[in-house]
Amino acid sequence: MGALRRAAGDHDVSVRPRSHQVVAPAEKLAVYRRKAAAALVAAQRKEG
């Protein structure tokens, strides 16, 4: 898709499509930790 955008002279190639979302490593880690904490809470509720 990038080559097609470049070929269209008046198109702004700096605009990223929604399917290409760059996620910062810190944000990925935060999401992972949040999911892990939720899974831990769920497991503890299931046990006791």
Q: Please tell me which residue, 10 or 43, carries the higher pLDDT value.
A: 43
Is residue 43 a part of any domain in this protein? yes
Q: How far is CA 44 from the centre of its chain?
A: 28
Q: Is residue 9 part of a domain?
A: no
Q: What is the pLDDT of residue 7?
A: 62
Exposed, middle or buried, 34 (CB in 10 Å: 0-12/13-18/19+)? exposed
Domain span at residue 34?
Answer: 22-48
8 or 36: which leads in pLDDT: 36
Our CA angle for 5, 8, 12, nearest 5°, is 60
**Per residue in 4-35, pLDDT tens?**
656 666 666 666 666 767 789 999 999 999 99
What span, in angstroms and rounded, lies between the C-alpha atoms of 8 and 24?
30
> In this structure, is residue 32 part of a structural domain?
yes
Rounded-to-integer distance, Cα 29 and Cα 33, Å: 6
Task: Domain count for the chain, please give it.
Answer: 1
Is the whole-model pTM more than 0.75? no
Any domain includes 33: yes
Specify if 41 maps to a domain.
yes
> Is 48 within a domain?
yes
